C-alpha cells in the first residue's frame, strides 16, 4: 500500500492512504485531493486545516461502521470529524473520510459512471460531513446535495443525483 501527502490550495493539507490493493491507482490521489479541496473551499471559512482520506476495503469499513454506527454492513463512505482543534499556526485536523473499494466500485458500475467520478463525489460528500453538513432531514439533504452538485460542477464532474439508484444517503 502507498501513502502520499499533498498540500493543494492554500489552507488545506490532504493525506491519501491506500490500505486496499483493489483500489490500484484509480481514482488518482490528485483527483481526490482536488475534490476534497473544492469541498473545503466552498463550504469552509477555516484556514490551515488537514484531512485524511482512507481508501480501504468493504471488510474494514464494515468493522468501522459496526463499531461507530452500530450497523454491521459495509457502506460507501464514512466521515469522522475531529471537532475543534487548536487555533495556532499548526494545521487544524478536521477529520478522516473513509471509502470502501468494493462498494464504491459496485455502485459506480451499477450506475454506469466512472469509479473516479463516484469516488470524487463521495470525497466531497465526506468532507461536507466533516464541515458539519448532514442529510438527516429533507431540507438538510437538499442543501447538502445542491452544494455537492455545485462543487462537482467546478471540477467538471456530472451531477451524481441525475442517476436513478437505490442508495442509503
> pLDDT tens digits for 26-44?
888 889 999 999 999 888 8
Instruction: Establish if 165 belongs to a structural domain.
Output: no
Does residue 56 form part of some domain?
Answer: yes
- How far apart CA 120 and CA 114 sit, in angstroms, is 10
89 within domain boundaries: yes
Domain assignment present for residue 166? The answer is: no
Q: Which pLDDT does position 169 carry in this prediction? A: 39
Tell me the per-residue pLDDT of 3-29, one tens digit each, with 9 for 90 and over: 554 545 567 889 999 999 999 888 888
Q: What CATH number is attached to the domain comprising 68? A: 3.40.390.30
**51, part of any domain:** yes
Q: Could you tell me if 91 and 48 are in contact, meaning their C-beta atoms sit under 8 angstroms apart?
A: yes
> Considering the entire predicted model, what is its pTM?
0.87
Residue 39: is it exposed, middle or buried by C-beta count within 10 angstroms (0-12/13-18/19+)? buried
The domain tally of the chain equals 1
Question: 14: which 3 cell numbers?
Answer: 490532504
Report in angstroms the alpha-carbon separations of 87 from 14, 48, 96, 129: 18, 9, 19, 20
71 located within any domain: yes
Q: What does the pLDDT read at residue 84? A: 61
Range of the domain at 51: 3-159
Please indicate, yes or no, if residue 52 is contained in any of the structural domains: yes
Amino acid at each position: 500500500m502507498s501513502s502520499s501527502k499533498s498540500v493543494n490550495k492554500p489552507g488545506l493539507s490532504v493525506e491519501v492512504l491506500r490500505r486496499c490493493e483493489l483500489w490500484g491507482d484509480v481514482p488518482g490521489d490528485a483527483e481526490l485531493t482536488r475534490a476534497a479541496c473544492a469541498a473545503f473551499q466552498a463550504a469552509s471559512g477555516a484556514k490551515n486545516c488537514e484531512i485524511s482520506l482512507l481508501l480501504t476495503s468493504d471488510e474494514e469499513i464494515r468493522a468501522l461502521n459496526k463499531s461507530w454506527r452500530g450497523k454491521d454492513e459495509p457502506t460507501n463512505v464514512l466521515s469522522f470529524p475531529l471537532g475543534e482543534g487548536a487555533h495556532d499556526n499548526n494545521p487544524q485536523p478536521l477529520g478522516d473520510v473513509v471509502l470502501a473499494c468494493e462498494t464504491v466500485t459496485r455502485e459506480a458500475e451499477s450506475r454506469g459512471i466512472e469509479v473516479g467520478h463516484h469516488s470524487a463525489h463521495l470525497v466531497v460528500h465526506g468532507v461536507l460531513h466533516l464541515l458539519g453538513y448532514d442529510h438527516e432531514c429533507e431540507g438538510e439533504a437538499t442543501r447538502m446535495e445542491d452544494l455537492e452538485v455545485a462543487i462537482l460542477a467546478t471540477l467538471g464532474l456530472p451531477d451524481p443525483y441525475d442517476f436513478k439508484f437505490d442508495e442509503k444517503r
